[in-house]
C-alpha cells in the first residue's frame, strides 16, 4: 500500500519574489515546489505585507480574493485576517493573510512584546487556517524566530496545547534555523497576558533566557524536529564559539537536529536561459560569458577589452559577510593585477569605505551601492572570481549561484561554504579556493592563489567547468525533508 503523502504547511514571513529580505524568502519560494515534485502535499502561508498583493497580480497570478476570514483570540480581543488564495503556476497553493497587523515594515528595529505581536498573531492564524481551507496539515514547517512562536503555542498555549486534527491526532512541527544570530529576545512585560502562553514555560526548560523571553529558544525546545540550512552549520551552532549560551540548548536537542543543505531554484538561476543576461551560455559553450564580461566592464567604466581577472561580490554589506577583513585588503588591491566590482547595501560605514576605495583605486575597483537584480545577474555572469569571506554563513546561496554562472568562489571554510566549496588543491581537485582563519592575511593569500591560477587557462577552465556542473538543485534536499516529515509522523509527532 502506497504511503500517504504528508500534508505540510510552510509558515514564513517572507516569500520570494513577493516579500523577500534574505535567504529565507528564497527557501519559502523554491523548496515547496521541489517538495511537491517528490510527493509532499505542500502549501504556503505568509502575511500580505504592503504591496504584496499587487506584486502577485503584476506577476500574472490569479488571486481568489476574500476566500474567508480567519479569526484568532489574542490579548482579550478577536483578530481577523482576510485569506487570499494564490494558485501558483508551479502547483503550490499560497495563502496570503491580509490584516491591519501586517501594514508596517516586515521586521521591527526594536524587539519587544509589542513589536512581536504581529508574529504571534500570524502563527495563531496559521494554526486556525484549516477552518477556512478544509485542508489540515500534518506538519507545520516554521522558519526562524518570527514563526518559532507556533511550536511554542502547540506546547504551552492555554488553548492550542490541546490542538488536535479531526482524526484526533496532534500535528507535528518543524523549525528551520536560517540564522541563529537572530533569536527574538525581549523583556517579558505583558507577553504572557497577550500571547496566551502559560507562565509555567518561563523557565530554563522553556522560553526563558537569562530573565528574558527568547522565542527561538522556545521553538527549539518545543518543535518536533529542528533543521538548519547546511550540515556544517548544524554542528557549528552546538558550539559556544558559534552561538554562546544557546549552544547548550541546541546540543541537548542534537537528536532532533538535522542539517539539510539549501538548494537553488535552478530554473531561475540558469545562465543558459537567463533573460537578464545580454547573452546566454553554458559549461559547454562559454561564448556568452565573454559577452557578459564585456558588458559588465562597460557598466563599470573599465576597458571592455581588459583580459585580467574580474573579482566580484554581490552581498549585504554587514560584518557577517567578512567586510571587516575585506576593507583592509583594499589598500593592496593594485598589487594583485585584478579588478574588483562590489554590489550591495548595508552598514553605512562599509558603504562609505567602498565609495572611498573606488575613488582612490578608480582603475581597479568599482562599487554599485544598493541592490539591482539585473546587475547582480551580470556580476555573476561576467565575473571570474567570486569573493565571499564570511565570518559565519549558515548556508549561503551566492557561492552556488557564482559557480553555476562560472565565477570561481574564494570563501572561508565555515558553515554552508565548506559544504559546497572544495579547495582546488585538495585531493581529487575542487571547485574553488578556501581559507580557514578569519583575518585579512588568510583571505588575501587565498585570493592571490585564485588570481595566480587564473593565468593558467587550461587549469582555470577545468576549475570553472567543475563548478558549473555541480548539482545545486533542491532535488536531494527535498527528499531529505520528505523523509524527515514521514519519520516524525510515524513517531506520532
Question: Quick count: other Cβ atoms within 10 Å of Cβ 275?
Answer: 7
Quote the distance between the C-alpha of residue 300 and its chain's center: 29
Tell me the C-alpha to C-alpha distance, in Å, between residue 355 and each of 282, 304, 341, 349, 366.
34, 22, 11, 10, 8
Domain ranges across the chain: 7-263+475-490, 287-468
Residues 133-190 have pLDDT tens digits of: 989 999 999 999 999 999 999 999 999 998 888 888 999 999 999 999 999 999 999 9
Distances (CA, A) of 455 to 207, 308, 406, 461: 55, 8, 16, 10
The beta strands (E) that lie in 122-214 are given as 139-143, 172-177, 185-186, 208-209, 212-214
Query: Which CATH code fits 7-263+475-490?
Result: 3.40.50.2000
Query: pLDDT tens digits for 67-76?
Result: 689 999 887 7
> Is the pLDDT score of 98 beyond 90?
yes
Phi and psi (nearest 5°) for 233? -65, -35
pLDDT at site 493: 57
* Amino acid 46: pLDDT: 97
> Using 50, 70 and 90 to split pLDDT, how confident is the model at 371?
confident
Q: How far is 108 from 82, CA to CA, in rounded Å?
A: 23
CA distances from 288 to 275, 291, 382, 405 (A): 12, 5, 9, 11
Residue given cell 518543535 in the structure block: 223
Q: Model confidence at 2, in pLDDT bands (50, 70, 90)?
A: low
- Read off the pLDDT of residues 332-357 as tens digits, 9 standing for 90 and up: 888 899 999 999 999 999 999 999 99
pLDDT at position 232 is: 96
What confidence tens digit (pLDDT) does each residue in 387-429 have?
Answer: 999 999 999 999 999 999 999 999 999 999 999 999 999 998 9
Q: Is it true that 7-263+475-490 and 287-468 share their CATH fold?
A: yes
Q: What is the full DSSP assignment across 294-336? A: HHHHHHHTS-TT--S-EEEEE--BSGGGTHHHHHHHGGGGGGT
- In this structure, CATH architecture of domain 287-468: 3-Layer(aba) Sandwich (3.40)
Please state the rounded mean pLDDT for residues 65-92: 85
Dihedral of alpha carbons 36, 21, 369, 309, sign = negative
Please report which confidence band the pLDDT of residue 21 belongs to, taking 50, 70 and 90 as the band edges.
confident
Arithmetic mean of pLDDT over the chain: 94
Residue 1 pLDDT level (bands cut at 50, 70, 90): very low
Helices (H), 301-428: 323-329, 348-360, 373-382, 398-404, 415-420
CA 337 to chain centre: 34
Whether 185 contacts 111, CB under 8 Å: yes
What's the CA gap between 285 and 276, in Å, rounded? 18
Q: What's the pLDDT tens digit per position in 261-275?
A: 999 999 999 999 999
208, pLDDT greater than 80: yes
Cβ-based neighbours of 340, under 8 Å, separated by 6 or more? 311, 312, 313, 330, 333, 364, 365, 366, 387
Amino acid at each position: 500500500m502506497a504511503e500517504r503523502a504528508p500534508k505540510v504547511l510552510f509558515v514564513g514571513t517572507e516569500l520570494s519574489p513577493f516579500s523577500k529580505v534574505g535567504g529565507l524568502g528564497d527557501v519559502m519560494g523554491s523548496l515547496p515546489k521541489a517538495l511537491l515534485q517528490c510527493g509532499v502535499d505542500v502549501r504556503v502561508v505568509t502575511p500580505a505585507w504592503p504591496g504584496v498583493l499587487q506584486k502577485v497580480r503584476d506577476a500574472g497570478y490569479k488571486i481568489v480574493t476574500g476566500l474567508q476570514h480567519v479569526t484568532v483570540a489574542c490579548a482579550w480581543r478577536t483578530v481577523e485576517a482576510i485569506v487570499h488564495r494564490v494558485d501558483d503556476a508551479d502547483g503550490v497553493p499560497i495563502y496570503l493573510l491580509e490584516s491591519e497587523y501586517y501594514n508596517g515594515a516586515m521586521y521591527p528595529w526594536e524587539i519587544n512584546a509589542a513589536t512581536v505581536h504581529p508574529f504571534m498573531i500570524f502563527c495563531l492564524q496559521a494554526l486556525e487556517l484549516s477552518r477556512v481551507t478544509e485542508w489540515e496539515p500534518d506538519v507545520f514547517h516554521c522558519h526562524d524566530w518570527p514563526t518559532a512562536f507556533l511550536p511554542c503555542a502547540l506546547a504551552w498555549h492555554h488553548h492550542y496545547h490541546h490542538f488536535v486534527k479531526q482524526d484526533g491526532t496532534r500535528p507535528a512541527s518543524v523549525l528551520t534555523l536560517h540564522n541563529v544570530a537572530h533569536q527574538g529576545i525581549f523583556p517579558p512585560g505583558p507577553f504572557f497576558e497577550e500571547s496566551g502562553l502559560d507562565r509555567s514555560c518561563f523557565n530554563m526548560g522553556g522560553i526563558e533566557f537569562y530573565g528574558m523571553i527568547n522565542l527561538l529558544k522556545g521553538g527549539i525546545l518545543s518543535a518536533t524536529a529542528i533543521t538548519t540550512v547546511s550540515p556544517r552549520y548544524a554542528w557549528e551552532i552546538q558550539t559556544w564559539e558559534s552561538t554562546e549560551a544557546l549552544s547548550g540548548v541546541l546540543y541537548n536537542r542534537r537528536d532532533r537536529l538535522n542539517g539539510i543543505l539549501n538548494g537553488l531554484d535552478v530554473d531561475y538561476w540558469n545562465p543558459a536561459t537567463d533573460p537578464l543576461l545580454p547573452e546566454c551560455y553554458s559549461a559547454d559553450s562559454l561564448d556568452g560569458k565573454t559577452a557578459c564580461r564585456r558588458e559588465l566592464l562597460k557598466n563599470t567604466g573599465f576597458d571592455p577589452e581588459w583580459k585580467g581577472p574580474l573579482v566580484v561580490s554581490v552581498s549585504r554589506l554587514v560584518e557577517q559577510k567578512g567586510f571587516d577583513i575585506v576593507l583592509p585588503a583594499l589598500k593592496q588591491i593594485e598589487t594583485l593585477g585584478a579588478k574588483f566590482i562590489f554590489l550591495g547595501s548595508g552598514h553605512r560605514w562599509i558603504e562609505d569605505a567602498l565609495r572611498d576605495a573606488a575613488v582612490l583605486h578608480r582603475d581597479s575597483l568599482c562599487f554599485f551601492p544598493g541592490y539591482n537584480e539585473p546587475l547582480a545577474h551580470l556580476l555573476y555572469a561576467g565575473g571570474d572570481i567570486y569573493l565571499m569571506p564570511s565570518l559565519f554563513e549558515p548556508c549561503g546561496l551566492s557561492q552556488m549561484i557564482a559557480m553555476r554562472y562560472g565565477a570561481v568562489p574564494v570563501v572561508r571554510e565555515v558553515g554552508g561554504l565548506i559544504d559546497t566549496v572544495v579547495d582546488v588543491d585538495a585531493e581529487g581537485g575542487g571547485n574553488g579556493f578556501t581559507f580557514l582563519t578569519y583575518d585579512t592575511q588568510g583571505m588575501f593569500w587565498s585570493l592571490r592563489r585564485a588570481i595566480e591560477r587564473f593565468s593558467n587557462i587550461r587549469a582555470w577552465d577545468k576549475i570553472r567547468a567543475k563548478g558549473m556542473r555541480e548539482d545545486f538543485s533542491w532535488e536531494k534536499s527535498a527528499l531529505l525533508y520528505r523523509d524527515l516529515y514521514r519519520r516524525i509522523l510515524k513517531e506520532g509527532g
